Amino acid sequence: MASVPVEESDGRGSMWDLDQKLDQPMDEEAGRIRNMHCEKKFSSLLLLRLAFQSLGVVFGDLGTSPLYVFYNTFPRGVGNGEDVIGALSLIIYSIILIPLLKYVFVVLRANDNGQGGTFALYSLLCRHAKIRTIPNQHRTDEELTTYSCRTYDENSFAAKLKHWLEAHTYKKNAVLILVLIGTCMAIGDGILTPAISVLSASGGLKVNHPNISNGVVILVAVVILVGLFSLQHYGTDRVSWLFAPIVLLWFLLIGSIGVFNLCKYDSSVLKAFNPVHIVRYFKGGHKNLTSLGGIMLSITGADVLFSDLCHFPVLAVQIAFTFVVFPCLLLAYTGQAAYIIQHQDHVFDAFYRSIPDGIYWPMVIIATAAASIASQATISATFSIIKQAAALDCFPMVKVVHTSKKFLGQIYIPDINWILMILCIAVTAGFKNQSQIGNAYGTAVVIVMLVTTLLMIPIMFLVWRSHWMLVLFFTALSLLVELTYFSAVLFKVNEGGWVPLVIAAAFLLIMFVWHYGTVKRYEFEKHSRVSIAWILGLGPSLGLVRVPGIGFVYTDLASGVPHIFSHLITNLPAIHSVVVFVCVKYLPVYTVPVDERFIVKRIGTKSFHIFRCVARYGYKDLLRKHDDFEKMLFDSISVFVRLEAMMEGYSDSDECAFSAQQNAKSIDLLEAGYMDTLGSIMEVKNTSSQDSIPVQSSHQGSSVTRSSAPTSQITSEELDFLNRCKEAGVVHILSNTMVRARRDSNLVKKIAVDYVYAFLRRICRDNSVMFNLPHESLLNVGQIFYV
């Protein structure tokens, strides 16, 4: 833990600067830990094993695209064989440019310590530029081992770009809205991927049995989808070991079938590797231009490839794609094209008709399994996206369930799961064909890709410090492909492309209104907070009767006294003997190590018995049911008291620096065993004496031997006092701030604040549930704030 220096302490004295003396070795270790994900070395055998495992997690969506690409490219039939060659040429070079070059070899490197997706890119930007719309970060947050950021030469382009982004609020809001658009489209992807994948796989039943009606195929697909979503709460921990072998078998089979069709039907399709056929295809007129929406489906899954990166090494994913996925996909599309040229009337179900009779039914089963695995990957990615959005104050807090004891990242969100299932079934049963679902799917994916490209521009400048020529080349090449496909899907808006736009608009409304309300609540607390001087002026009794017990006052502020506390003590004649201001905040990092999570600070002198405790979490961190948050807070305060007393021997108000002998004495004390039982980094700060001392601590609450008997006695008395207060009773005081629109506000604002935000506040989980606080110990303080 480390103390939070606040503005009120500035200018009241000097603080000991011990971190540079005592913690130099820890700084070096922190640097190694911070870059662990980038620098960790893997043996060749382990790397191959991880590459194999990544097949079942990362590439399912991209691998099932051959089920429906040609059907959606030629929904009205094939005009001539040259169109097939041109479409195949576009597919080949689209896979080369977007999944291979853009995502596998560039975008994957922009992961946030193994985490991918739109919010991971946003987190990287927030650490390198102050663009968060809720400015609750402190400079001590940058000292986390997982908080990596760079400094820039003031004259560099990166520094100018950083200052430009930070200069105005509207620029920060523009970046946030761009991120939210990409996030909402990714959620739409989580709805459409299961629909098109499972429906396409189920279509194999009708190919071998033409008498089966389309309604039966849809019914089978709906049954599979219901089963898939119903099993989500069990997690995939027990069956995930099957995913990689099934997907690997799928890729090998579609690649082998492609070679078979290439040799059997028409090997001349290999001329599609000549890009001149792309030019000829575009000369085909408006019909060929609109068919790009179907060709674009060949690269769907590239966005999920980045979102589902998890903790696989980038090199392992690159190996798996380069040596397995990429060649098998090219062979599969080439083989299908060879079959379609000879059987142009079979374009609607070319995948299944091109399968040799001997392995037809096994392929149907494996295709269904691969489609289910691809759907599982996108559903899991959607859960992760919602969790990240909630952590960054862009979505209401919802119930999150851990589905694995081994892997923290495997989560399940019941409310979102059933919403996804209902929407997915509605899309499957409502459209009843792959073409319209494909149009919707393509619209969602291409917008996610465009957002990723735009976010990569500041990432390359600020994080990677790339040369502007490289950034320009990457941006131009990506936008050339993606804007071309985007213009094509615009023609399909009235043919199903409107679905992801409506879904995204609904989620965007929820996210924006929730974030707007959260920002206004934070601004209200910040502007109405009470100064520390006001508290100190009341004296140790705060002008009230101090009754035995501990009062945890929850606030969004990491400094100052929250307004609810002043409201409380001006309306009640008594307050608890120990008061702790608790701030729980999420930082733009994927995780905060447990031993760096809590920051404790004393407010006033010891006689006040007032503390501040800041609990820091990353967007992947979760509080489990068995986590006793109340105990964690109390243990942190107890350890703080011990360490504060231990460091008092170093205080001297007349000095500003330690001598070499004092520094040696400090190290001797550390080596003597006073900190043997303590394990996390903590910086103890006393407001009255201005001592700032980083030491090692833990939340175990174990005793510490002291050489100074008087100090030890004082420490023991305060610890006994804390324990007696805990036994007397603990109360958690929470703010229930209601946000309302002013009477003179416009109609849109009144609807957004008074109805939409108020409804979201009622249905979301509050802090008492999130932190598993006992219901009988809660005290809500109501406030109304008008915006």
pLDDT tens digit string along 549-574?
999 999 888 877 888 888 787 777 78
The confidence score (pLDDT) of residue 258 equals 95
pTM listed for this prediction: 0.82
222 pLDDT band (50/70/90 cuts)?
A: very high
At residue 236, the pLDDT reads 67
Cβ neighbours around 233 below 10 Å, total: 12
Q: Which residues touch 8 (CB under 8 Å, ≥6 apart)? A: 531, 532, 533, 559, 560, 687
The whole-angstrom separation of Cα 682 and Cα 694 is 5
* Residue 403 · residue 412 · CB < 8 Å: yes
**Alpha helices in 528-647, H assignment, sequence order:** 532-537, 563-569, 629-647
Q: Binning pLDDT at 50, 70 and 90, where does residue 239 land? A: low
The C-alpha atoms of residue 516 and residue 398 are separated, in whole angstroms, by 18
Report the C-alpha gap between 303 and 731 in whole angstroms: 46
pLDDT at 91 over 90: yes
Q: Which is higher by pLDDT, 642 or 94?
A: 94
> Residue type for 288, please?
N
274 versus 541: the higher-pLDDT residue is: 274
Asked if residue 90 has pLDDT above 80, the reply is yes
Find the mean pLDDT for residues 295-305: 89
Q: What is the mean predicted confidence (pLDDT) over 197-221?
A: 85
The rounded mean pLDDT for the chain is 80
Residue 16 token pair:
């000991």
Helix, strand, coil percentages in the chain from 3-state DSSP, rounded to 5: 65, 10, 25
Is the pLDDT at 686 greater than 50, yes or no?
Answer: no
pLDDT at residue 2, rounded to an integer = 42
Closest CA to 407 of 620, 724, 604: 620
pLDDT at position 469 is 94
- Per-residue confidence (pLDDT) for residue 24, from 0 to 100: 34
Q: What is the mean pLDDT of residues 511-520?
A: 92
The torsion region of residue 77 among left (phi > 0), alpha (psi -120 to 50) and beta comes to: left
Residue 27 has pLDDT above 50, yes or no: no
Q: What is the β-pairing status of strands 574-586 and 598-603?
A: unpaired
User: What gap in Å lies between CA 160 and CA 606, rounded to an integer?
Assistant: 46
Rounded distance between C-alpha atoms, residue 603 and residue 644, angstroms: 13
Please state which of the ranges 33-47, 160-174, 231-245, 417-431 shows the lowest mean pLDDT: 33-47
For 742, phi then psi, to 5°, come to -65, 160
Q: Which pLDDT tens digit goes with each residue over 334-376?
A: 999 999 999 888 888 889 999 998 899 999 999 999 999 989 8
What are the pLDDT digits (tens) for 483-509? Answer: 999 998 888 888 888 989 999 999 999
Q: Is the pLDDT of residue 229 over 60?
A: yes
Does the pLDDT of residue 696 top 50, yes or no?
no
- pLDDT beyond 60 at 186: yes
Report d(CA 759, CA 471) in Å as an integer.
44
Determine what percent of the chain is predicted with pLDDT higher than 70: 84
Task: Quickly list H helices, 463-562.
Answer: 468-490, 498-527, 532-537
Task: Please give the Cα distance from 183 to 185 (Å, whole number).
Answer: 5
Q: Which two tokens stand for residue 495?
A: 């043919």
Q: Whose structure tokens read 């986590």?
A: 627
List the structure tokens of 39.
Answer: 């620098």
Is the predicted pLDDT of residue 664 greater than 50, yes or no?
Answer: no
Q: H or E stretch including 180?
A: helix 169-202
For residue 402, give the H/E element and its range.
Answer: strand 401-402
User: Each residue of 55-76: pLDDT tens digit?
Assistant: 888 898 899 999 989 988 988 8
Number of Cβ atoms within 10 Å of the Cβ of 770: 18
| Whole-number Cα distances in Å, 357 to 257, 368, 394 | 11, 18, 52
pLDDT grade, residue 660 (50/70/90)? very low
Q: Which two tokens stand for residue 421?
A: 């299932």
Confidence of residue 183 (pLDDT cuts 50, 70, 90): very high
Query: What are residue 557's phi and psi, to 5 degrees?
Result: -90, 140
- CA 665 – CA 674 distance, rounded (Å): 13
pLDDT score of 175:
94
Distance CA 491, CA 493 (A): 6
Task: Supply the DSSP string of 354-368, one letter for each residue.
Answer: TS-GGGHHHHHHHHH
Query: Cβ–Cβ contacts within 10 Å for residue 69, how many?
Result: 25
Provide DSSP, 657-709. Answer: S--HHHHHHHHHHIIIIITTT--EEEEEEETTTTEEEEEEE-SS------S-H
Mean pLDDT calculated for residue range 277-288? 83
Residue 89 CB partners (closer than 8 Å, separation 6+)? 272, 273, 274, 275, 277, 278, 281
Provide the token pair at 457.
Answer: 């521009």
Burial call 448-475: b when 16+ CB within 10 Å, e when fewer: bbbbbbbbbbbbbbbbbebeeeebeebe
CA distance 443 to 441: 5
Question: Comparing 696 with 591, which gets the higher pLDDT?
Answer: 591
pLDDT at 766: 75
Contact criterion met (CB below 8 Å) for 725 and 550: yes
Q: Which parts of 107-156 fold into alpha helices (H)?
A: 118-128
How far CA 577 is from CA of 444, 605, 609, in Å, comes to: 56, 14, 7
Does 119 score more than 70 pLDDT? Answer: yes
170-184, 537-551, 583-597, range with greatest mean pLDDT? 170-184
Give per-residue pLDDT as tens, 396-449. Answer: 988 888 776 666 667 888 999 999 999 999 998 888 677 888 888 888 999 999
- Rounded Cα–Cα distance for residues 550 and 344 (Å): 78
Please give the torsion angle defined by the CA atoms of residues 171, 173, 177 and 183, in that order, rounded to the nearest 10 degrees.
110
pLDDT in tens, 11-20: 433 333 333 3
